[in-house]
Amino acid sequence: MASVDPQKVYDVVVVGGGPAGLMASLCLTTYGFNILHIDERPHPTTAGRADGIQPRTIEVLRNIGGVSNAPVPGGPIAGLSPIAGGGVAKKMISKGVRVYEVAFWDPTADQKLARTSRAPSCPEFIDVVDNYTLLLHQGLIEEAFLDEIEARRNLLRDPIPTPRSGIFRPYTLRDCRTLPSSDLLSSTHPVECVIEHGDSKAKHTIRSRYLLGCDGAKSHVRRCISGGEEGDGEWKGLITMQGEATDIVWGVLDARVKTNFPDIKYKCLIHSKSEGSIMIIPREANLVRFYVQLQSTEGGQIVSITRDKATLDICIARAKKIFEPFELEFGYVDWFSVYQIGQRIASQYTLDHRIILGGDATHTHSPQAGQGMNISMLDMYSLAWKLNLVIKGLGKPEILLPSYEHERRGVAEELLKFDGAYSRLFSGRGPDAKHLPGGVDAEKFIEMFKQNAFFTSGCGAIYFANELNALPGAKLLDGRHRRAFNPPGVKLVAGQRMTPGHVTRVADGNNVRLQQEVKMNGAFRIHIFAGDLRWTRPALEAFAAFIDSPDSFFERHRVSPGVPSSIVDGPAAVMNHDDHAKHTHTFNPFFTFLTIVGTHWYEWEIADLPSPLRLYRSQVYGDALFDHRVAEADTNAPLHRKFGIDMQKGAIVVVRPDSYVGAIVDLSEDGWLGLNDYFAGFLNVAPMKAKM
């Protein structure tokens, strides 16, 4: 396969084979696109680098799931998803270690170093299933992506031949630009790029619909579109990197150690009295990640060790010093690097919504908060479903594409604000990066750590009002049906992830996680919380009739028959043995319905539900499973209670393909007409010829 050459035309070119580029490739492959994915490194990462996966990222990876290429006895099953257990999340979890608790060590009145506080990685108030940070080296993370991309490429309808997992290496981007629309190809594939093989120097000119720059802090893509001279794109081009560097230098290494430090298997934030700070993180294979502040004291003055002088030996010596009085003996070292603390963000993520940047190409900061890789991956996760809608002709590009930067820049800015304060404080500096007279203010630091747990878990990455998030401030909320949005008492919030809950899948009686029932497949998930059927049955029937009427969002926003929303699901996730039954509903792959009934599921049948809801057989649920977050142990419908949904009224919760809540409306005519307006805000009306 090494001899495969790139072709001339692709849907999307992805530049960069790190976590952001891999997430882009995995998602876009899932949506059925042919990707040209290049990386200038000859091989994937083998050690070190980013190593922390946060709870929300695990949740996302679980939602991406895993496909199985195993042959099915009796041949493929129409309408049955090839999504199987396992997948990227489980592969990573099986190889990594978990951090549930963080310990803070500081000098005290009578001890050189003592544990002064503890904090959970992910405090109880954050409602997330995997309530820990998962640690493993970046190579293992990349490997899980590469395996899954390979498995999904096998499901593409018309795959373009590629090397394994789709990555051409070593290939460098030499140029890229968006051409003016002059012919048929440039109307659909206006992006032109030139890539060069690292060894043979053979050049290829490629055309694509979009090009994604996931090529890191020194992004070639950014320089190409930004202009300016090589290496100076940060300050002279159209896109500038805003923010600042400090003189604070840290070393980072992965090593095996012997020590009598009791918390060596915890994430620890350690401040010595005058020798600087260390953060340690436990890692796979008995390794320990050390972040070591590189400073020394010369003549009573604290002096930073400059980047060029920071060797492994110095780093180890500093670590031993900071660990005193504990013994610390270094063995095998798996990886070593040095970095300088600074925070920068790109002034723009894109100039034309065709060549789009993400990940480290748009934001850089210190690694200690364990956020960079997570936010970079989620940048691409967030962009991919929007591209899917746009390329297939269903989404309005003028709304969806700008929403990428709107939503993700907000998160990156929040991160930079936190990281700037946190990394300086951890280094014993003030907001101006000047040395604090008393060294590290432990109390303030611990306070800051705890206050930011919601954000650092990833669960606090909140999106604000726009066409996709029906929140006060969005135009939609001034519209005709405004009163139907965000019913009082409901605790789910548009622009935030849907929180977890266990329900019973009525079709087979299985206990399942509602959140994970529909895997990432490009569809909007319309959750009908039906409450108590004694009260809600008329509304439920009216809603069902509405869905099948020509004026519903479901009928209005369709693409050409045969264009799927993704490769992982048939037209509907119907676990169906009765497909010889007659019905008129034609599935729309971009919408799927989940009906959660508060009345105990022993008291009604799926067949009692109005069509089309009952046709989504595998997505009808009973709500009667214990949830320890619901104080009243004998609540009939714990998830309705947890989400604050009125049992007499019910509610409709729209979850976007990225598992963010998009809109919450009453289960009433005003509610579903409101949803019509919501979807009309960013989706095209049929008949629209799909652009694929």
By C-alpha distance, which of 150, 155, 203, 194 is closest to 174? 194
Assess 132 for contact with a second copy (CB under 8 A): yes
Measured CA to CA, the distance from residue 128 to residue 149 in angstroms comes to 26
**From 7, 9, 41, 101, residue interacting with a second copy (rule: CB under 8 A):** 101
CB of 65 to a second copy, least distance (A): 11
Distance of CA 47 to the CA centre of its chain: 22
By C-alpha distance, which of 446, 393, 423 is closest to 557? 393
Nearer CB in complex with a second copy: 44/166: 44
Cα–Cα distances (Å) from 313 to 294, 310, 316, 317, 321, in that order, read 11, 8, 5, 6, 12
Assess 325 for contact with a second copy (CB under 8 A): no
Q: Which stretch binds a second copy (CB under 8 A): 154-162, 392-400, 577-585, 646-654?
A: 577-585
Assess 516 for contact with a second copy (CB under 8 A): no
Give the list of residues 6+ apart from residue 270 with CB closer than 8 angstroms, or none.
104, 105, 106, 113, 277, 278, 279, 280, 322, 323
Tell me whether residue 555 is exposed, middle or buried, using C-beta atoms within 10 angstroms of its C-beta: 0 to 12, 13 to 18, 19 or more.
Answer: middle
Binding mask 28-67 for a second copy (x = CB under 8 A): -------------------x--------------------
CB of 335 to a second copy, least distance (A): 9
CB of 659 to a second copy, least distance (A): 22
Cβ distance 281 to 264 under 8 Å? no
Assess 202 for contact with a second copy (CB under 8 A): no
Reading the block at residue 610, the tokens are: 């109005």
Q: Which stretch binds a second copy (CB under 8 A): 188-196, 579-587, 653-661, 665-673?
A: 579-587
Assess 93 for contact with a second copy (CB under 8 A): yes
Assess 421 for contact with a second copy (CB under 8 A): no
Measured CA to CA, the distance from residue 289 to residue 137 in angstroms comes to 10
Assess 321 for contact with a second copy (CB under 8 A): no
Q: Which stretch binds a second copy (CB under 8 A): 99-107, 210-218, 309-317, 475-483?
A: 99-107
Assess 508 for contact with a second copy (CB under 8 A): yes
Assess 464 for contact with a second copy (CB under 8 A): no
CB of 570 to a second copy, least distance (A): 12
- For 624, which DSSP code? -
Assess 351 for contact with a second copy (CB under 8 A): no
Measured CA to CA, the distance from residue 296 to residue 305 in angstroms comes to 7
Measured CA to CA, the distance from residue 563 to residue 590 in angstroms comes to 10
Assess 129 for contact with a second copy (CB under 8 A): no
Tokens 């936190």 sit at which residue? 418
**From 1, 180, 229, 628, residue interacting with a second copy (rule: CB under 8 A):** 628
**From 257, 453, 520, 615, residue interacting with a second copy (rule: CB under 8 A):** 257
Q: For 607, list phi and psi in degrees, rounded to 5.
A: -65, -20
Q: In a 3-state reduction of DSSP, which class is residue 116?
A: strand
- For 435, which DSSP code? B
**From 154, 163, 181, 332, residue interacting with a second copy (rule: CB under 8 A):** 332
Binding mask 524-563 for a second copy (x = CB under 8 A): ----------------------------------------
Assess 80 for contact with a second copy (CB under 8 A): yes
β 591-597/328-346 pair status: unpaired
Binding mask 277-296 for a second copy (x = CB under 8 A): -----x--xxxx--------
**From 511, 561, 632, 634, residue interacting with a second copy (rule: CB under 8 A):** 511
Q: In a 3-state reduction of DSSP, which class is residue 331?
A: strand
CB of 103 to a second copy, least distance (A): 8
CB of 634 to a second copy, least distance (A): 12
Assess 111 for contact with a second copy (CB under 8 A): no
Reading the block at residue 604, the tokens are: 């009604």
* End-to-end Cα spacing for the chain: 28
Assess 331 for contact with a second copy (CB under 8 A): yes
Measured CA to CA, the distance from residue 54 to residue 391 in angstroms comes to 31
Measured CA to CA, the distance from residue 149 to residue 147 in angstroms comes to 6
Q: Kindly calculate the radius of gyration of the chain based on its CA atoms and give it in whole angstroms.
A: 26
Nearer CB in complex with a second copy: 352/605: 605
Instruction: Tell me the one-letter amino acid at 398.
Output: E
Binding mask 207-226 for a second copy (x = CB under 8 A): --------------------
Give the list of residues 6+ apart from residue 305 with CB closer than 8 angstroms, or none.
249, 294, 295, 296, 314, 318
Residue 306: count other Cβ atoms within 10 Å of its Cβ: 12
Nearer CB in complex with a second copy: 334/658: 334
By C-alpha distance, which of 399, 35, 404, 5 is closest to 209? 35
CB of 507 to a second copy, least distance (A): 5
**From 4, 84, 114, 303, residue interacting with a second copy (rule: CB under 8 A):** 84
**From 232, 244, 324, 329, residue interacting with a second copy (rule: CB under 8 A):** 329
Assess 474 for contact with a second copy (CB under 8 A): no
Tokens 């506080």 sit at which residue? 117
Measured CA to CA, the distance from residue 213 to residue 352 in angstroms comes to 13
Q: Where in 56-141 does DSSP place strands (E)? A: 66-67, 83-84, 97-99, 101-106, 114-120, 133-135
Q: Which stretch binds a second copy (CB under 8 A): 156-164, 346-354, 478-486, 599-607?
A: 599-607
CB of 523 to a second copy, least distance (A): 21
**From 155, 156, 264, 680, residue interacting with a second copy (rule: CB under 8 A):** 264
Assess 603 for contact with a second copy (CB under 8 A): no
Nearer CB in complex with a second copy: 92/476: 92
Handedness of CA 554, 555, 559, 562 (dihedral sign): positive
Measured CA to CA, the distance from residue 136 to residue 51 in angstroms comes to 5
Residues that bind a second copy (CB under 8 A): 47, 72-75, 77, 80, 84-86, 90, 93-95, 97-101, 118, 132, 256-262, 264-266, 282, 285-288, 327, 329, 331-332, 334, 504, 507-511, 575, 577-581, 602, 605-607, 626, 628
